[in-house]
Amino acid sequence: MSPTTGATGEPDRQGADGSRRERLVVPSDSEDRLDRWLADRLDLSRTRTASLIAEGAVRVNGAEVSKSYRPRQGDVIEARIPAPEPVGLEPEDLPLRIVHEDAHVLVVDKPAGMVVHPAPGHPRGTLVNALLGRVHHLSSIGLPNRPGIVHRLDKDTSGLLVVARTDEAHRALARDLARRRMGRGYLAGAWGHLDRERVAIDLPLGRDPRDRKRRAVVEGGRRAVTHVRRLERWVSADLLALELETGRTHQIRVHLEAVGHPLVGDPMYSPGWERGFLGAGGRWAEELGARAGRLFLHAARLAFRHPVTGEDLAFTSPLPDPLASAVAWARETS
Catalytic residue among 35, 75, 109, 154: 154
Alpha helices in the chain (DSSP H): 34-42, 46-54, 127-135, 167-178, 251-258, 279-292, 323-333
CB environment 127-145: b (16+ within 10 A), e (fewer): bbbbbbebbeebbbbbbbb
What is the Cα 258 distance to its own chain's centre? Answer: 16
Q: Please name which of 233, 113, 240 lies closest in space to residue 187, comparing C-alpha atoms.
A: 240
Give the separation between CA 227 and CA 132, rounded to whole angstroms.
34
Bond prior to 144 in cis (omega within 30° of 0)? yes
Residues in the chain: 334
Annotated catalytic residue 154: yes
Instruction: Give the catalytic positions in this structure.
Output: 154
